[in-house]
Amino acid sequence: MSYIRFRKHYLHIPYLVLAVLEFGLLFTIFSLLTFLFAFIGLDHAPVQTDVLSALLFALVLSCGTLAMGGYLAVVHESLSSLFFRVLVAYCFVGGIGLSVLYVVMPSADPGSTNLFWAVMLASLAVILLRLVFLRIVDSEQLVRRVVILGAGDFAASLLDEYQRNMRALGIRVIGCISDNTRCSVTDDHLLPTPYDLYKFCRQNKVSEIVVAQQERRRSEGSWLPVPELMECKLRGIAVTNGIDFYERELKKAKLDMVHPSWIVFSDGFKASKSRDFAKRSLDLLISLSLLVLMLPFILLTALAVFLETGRPVLYSQKRVGMLGREFRIFKFRSMRQDAEKDGKARWASANDNRITRVGAFIRNTRLDELPQIYNVIRGEMSIVGPRPERPEFVSELKEKIPFYDTRHYVKPGLMGWAQLKYPYGASVEDARGKLEYDLYYSKNHSLVMDLLIMIQTVEVILLGKGVR
């Protein structure tokens, strides 16, 4: 097994191992450097704070790596992008985090000299560790080999998206086996139909079979070798439903394959009063803390909007919240006052000429969203959840996209899983793509997943991802 499921969220073991190794490396480097500098008299930090400082140093920099998407990107990155990502994660995100931490806990501050050399040495060591780790874990000898049973549209879509976007570390899809239906897979990914499925898997070192067939009824010409699949399962080869594999590896639900029974009989989509209470308590704690910390930015943003285009500084729109209840969302105005002078709702577009200069900046930095802290305090929104949509668009999308209304069984949020994984939604097709991630979140959401989303949203803000 190459993954574990924690709080309904799939975590790949190779990434967890990499995170543990990096944490240990960061702790060791910091401990050795601070001890060395103290020993030769370059620093006078008390020895008793070394362990605490090292733990905090390793924790903050590891969170910086997670915030910049450093673990998931390791499979696809070139050496230059890896170097850039590590430097941003450690020198910028980690540096800010440590600076704030040392203000609160000055006794853990090792001194500027120690910190500078520790960050520099840690950056180089982690880059070398990742290169070696990737070469070993993602080698053909150690990867978990997967074969897809099926060669129709669903199999082709799964294979294409997996290889283009989200190929996981330590897993390799070797190809598709035709199921005698219309073939949509290219010849270079098509495998010959084996006479003995178990023998084929043993010869090709296959660890998992993914059943990805559009139709399973023999009357429609499909081929589902149930006895052979049973033999493979009983002899230690994992057999997985295509939609479950899609969810596990791509962290979203395949909308074309979702059906009511998948929702009804799923182990997710469960309401929990204790989780709702904990989530609400966390929302209040974070929103009130954000309000205090971001107050200077709120005032400066309001002033900038007023100086450029005058009043009103804020604007509000009706949005659809939990269980379809409408509420008013608040934002700093980033468009001209006459952006929708005819009263007709419009999707935002790339290079939208309605957006002002200040508006473009506050959209890129997400400063325009700060007034929504008020919505969170009122309980209309959460810190994490699907982004709320306008009623005019919801009415249209419910007619065109199946299961669209399921996203309204979770409270909308300031940040969300779809915002991390999908560009800004500005069309029906974009809304469909975002819904696949919203469905995954609605099914599997937990406080742990919310925390991961909050940390990873740092990358979205710093790099201006998904902005129009």
For residue range 262-302, what is the model confidence (pLDDT) as tens digits? 888 877 788 788 888 999 999 999 999 999 989 999 999 99
Domains and CATH numbers, the chain: 3-137 (no CATH), 144-250 (3.40.50.720), 273-339+350-463 (no CATH)
What residues pair up with 328 in beta bridges, in sequence order? Answer: 318
Instruction: Kindly tell me if the per-residue pLDDT of 115 is higher than 50.
Output: yes
Task: Provide the residue count of the chain.
Answer: 468
Is residue 195 helix, strand or coil?
coil
Place of tokens 């879509």: 157
Distance of CA 178 to the CA centre of its chain: 33
More reliable by pLDDT, 344 or 109:
109
Q: What is the DSSP letter of 226?
A: H
Instruction: Kindly tell me if the per-residue pLDDT of 404 is higher than 70.
Output: yes
Identify the weakest region by mean pLDDT among 79-93, 327-341, 346-360. 346-360
pLDDT mean over 76-104: 82
Instruction: Kindly tell me if the per-residue pLDDT of 47 is higher than 70.
Output: no
**Which helix or strand (DSSP H or E) is residue 105 part of?**
none
**What's the first-to-final CA gap in the chain, in angstroms?**
41
Tokens at 128, concatenated: 């070398």
Instruction: Kindly tell me if the per-residue pLDDT of 219 is higher than 50.
Output: no
Q: Please tell me the predicted confidence (pLDDT) of residue 277.
A: 92
Are residues 283 and 196 in contact, defined by beta-carbon separation less than 8 angstroms? no
Instruction: Round to whole Å and give the CA distance between 5 and 174.
Output: 24
Sign of the CA dihedral running 275, 277, 283, 286: negative
Q: Which of 255, 206, 211, 259 is nearest to 235 (CA)?
A: 206
Place of tokens 């919310």: 450
Q: What is the DSSP letter of 168?
A: P
Instruction: Kindly tell me if the per-residue pLDDT of 344 is higher than 70.
Output: no
Instruction: Round to whole Å and give the CA distance between 26 and 66.
Output: 14
Q: Please tell me the predicted confidence (pLDDT) of residue 346.
A: 59
Instruction: Round to whole Å and give the CA distance between 421 and 431.
Output: 13
Identify the weakest region by mean pLDDT among 38-42, 98-102, 109-113, 134-138. 38-42
Q: What is the DSSP letter of 88?
A: I
Instruction: Round to whole Å and give the CA distance between 47 and 34.
Output: 9
Instruction: Round to whole Å and give the CA distance between 210 and 204.
Output: 15
**Which helix or strand (DSSP H or E) is residue 234 part of?**
helix 226-234
Tokens at 445, concatenated: 């959401």
- Whole-model pTM: value is 0.82
Is residue 396 helix, strand or coil?
helix
